[in-house]
């Protein structure tokens, strides 16, 4: 990972995005999928209009998101196809209809795993005189949300197909429980999830119900589904990448495209420790264990982290100097990005030349 040549102008901690690495990761995702048309990337990781625009420039025209703000960001960026992959209740269901009315160029859809929400969405869509696409959220093993295949799921999908305000968008099958380090084990687990989805799709088609799209696969598993040409693939983390996925899934050939610039604020030669200005208000505190990787300081062990401080043992090469710059690769980049108002963008020559606003860290950016 390159260092920033004009880092003296940056505050710390500072979120960095490396433009050439982002471009390489977009291209790698397309290579794995076989074409940009097979991708529906999730924007929850980067939350920026600029990265979405980079993806569209590469031919990716379908996107997935988790919040109303992310959906509106995509609409403002002129994304033509936006799946809000979250069951919407209360005011959020109304906000989605408002998005549909405000941004007519975009095809919006959402998902549900129950009739109660489907009825509400249909009522709102009919009242607004719009047609809303709704995917059935199919549980393929994670048991977080989703309805299991069977008669109830078939009845729900039939309702989505027949309701006057709705159109059945297809199946959304998230397998976020598949985190097997061994590629063959992950492939086998993904294959089992695929059978669940494919069998249910066949059941729906045999009943005369249209299934326009089947969305499967996050970053760890979308390569496992790439040979299934009928699937749309929806990775997200890979566009920035992080230490968790790099260390857990060595088969994924993505580059680190995000880092945090921190600086040494204290050193203790008696204790043999140094402290950087990066606490858990600047880097995600999940999952358990190491919260970040420090290139060049691999043998330094984290001792203590508070809100604005992070203490490490000295590396074998000796304590760093006061003010020395430390680059940190977050273990979990998605919630880390949400802690920052902006990302500082670094070009291929290592020059920070602009900023991107992390627009969707707010829950509302308009509607």
- The whole-angstrom separation of Cα 197 and Cα 15 is 38
φ and ψ at residue 53, rounded to 5 degrees: -65, -40
Distances (CA, A) of 51 to 46, 63, 275, 359, 361: 7, 12, 33, 12, 15
φ and ψ at residue 71, rounded to 5 degrees: -65, -40
pLDDT at 288: 84
φ and ψ at residue 14, rounded to 5 degrees: -130, 135
DSSP state of 181: S
Output the six-digit token pair for 228. 């299934």
Q: What angle do CA 168, 172, 173 make, to 5 degrees?
A: 150
Q: Answer whether 126's CB lies under 8 Å from 170's CB.
A: no
Taking each helix axis as running N to C, give the angle between helix 68-76 and helix 91-102, from 0 to 180 degrees, rounded to the nearest 10: 10
pLDDT at 237: 98
- The whole-angstrom separation of Cα 307 and Cα 303 is 14
pLDDT at 287: 82
How do the pLDDT tens digits run along the chain, 367 residues long? 789 999 999 999 999 999 999 999 999 999 999 999 999 999 999 999 999 999 999 999 999 999 999 999 999 999 999 999 999 999 999 999 999 999 999 999 999 999 999 999 999 999 999 999 999 999 999 999 999 999 999 999 999 999 999 999 999 999 999 999 999 999 999 999 999 999 999 999 999 999 999 999 999 999 999 999 999 999 999 999 999 999 999 999 999 999 999 999 999 999 999 999 999 999 999 988 899 999 999 999 999 999 999 999 999 999 999 999 999 999 999 999 999 999 999 999 999 999 999 999 999 999 9
Q: Answer whether 296's CB lies under 8 Å from 259's CB.
A: no
Mind listing the domains of the chain with CATH numbers? 7-12+254-361 (2.40.37.20), 20-236 (3.20.20.10)
Single out the residue of 323, 182, 356, 325 nearest to residue 257, CA to CA.
Answer: 356
Q: Determine how β-strand 292-293 pairs with β-strand 325-330.
A: antiparallel
pLDDT at 2: 85
pTM > 0.75: yes or no: yes
- The whole-angstrom separation of Cα 52 and Cα 43 is 8
């Amino acid at each position: 990972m390159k260092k920033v040549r004009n880092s003296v102008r940056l505050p710390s901690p500072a979120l960095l995005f490396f433009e050439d690495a982002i471009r390489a990761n977009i291209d790698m995702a397309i290579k794995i999928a076989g074409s940009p048309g097979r991708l529906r990337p999730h924007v929850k990781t980067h939350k920026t209009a600029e990265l979405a625009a980079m993806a569209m420039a590469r031919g990716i025209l379908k996107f997935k998101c988790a919040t109303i703000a992310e959906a509106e960001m995509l609409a403002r960026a002129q994304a033509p196809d936006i799946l809000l992959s979250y069951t919407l209740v209360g005011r959020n269901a109304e906000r989605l209809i408002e998005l549909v009315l405000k941004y007519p160029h975009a095809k919006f859809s959402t998902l549900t795993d129950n009739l109660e929400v489907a009825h509400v969405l249909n009522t709102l869509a009919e009242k607004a005189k719009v047609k809303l696409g709704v995917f059935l959220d199919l549980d393929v093993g994670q048991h977080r949300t989703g309805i299991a295949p069977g008669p109830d799921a078939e009845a729900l999908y039939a309702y989505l197909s027949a309701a006057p305000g709705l159109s059945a968008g297809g199946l959304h099958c998230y397998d976020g429980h598949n985190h097997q380090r061994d590629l063959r084990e992950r492939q086998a687990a993904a294959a089992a999830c695929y059978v669940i989805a494919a069998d249910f799709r066949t059941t729906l088609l045999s009943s005369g119900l249209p299934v326009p799209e089947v969305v499967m696969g996050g970053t760890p598993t979308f390569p496992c589904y790439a040979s299934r040409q009928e699937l749309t693939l929806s990775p997200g983390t890979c566009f920035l990448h992080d230490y968790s996925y790099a260390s857990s899934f060595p088969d994924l050939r993505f580059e680190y495209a995000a880092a945090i610039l921190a600086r040494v604020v204290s050193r203790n030669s008696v204790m043999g420790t140094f402290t950087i200005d990066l606490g858990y208000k600047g880097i995600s505190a999940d999952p358990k264990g190491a919260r970040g990787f420090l290139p060049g300081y691999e043998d330094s062990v984290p001792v203590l982290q508070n809100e604005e401080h992070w203490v490490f043992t000295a590396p074998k090469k000796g304590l760093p100097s006061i003010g020395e710059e430390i680059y940190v690769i977050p273990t979990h980049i998605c919630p880390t990005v949400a802690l920052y108002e902006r990302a500082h963008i670094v070009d291929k020559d290592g020059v920070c030349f602009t900023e991107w606003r992390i627009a969707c860290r707010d829950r509302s950016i308009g509607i």
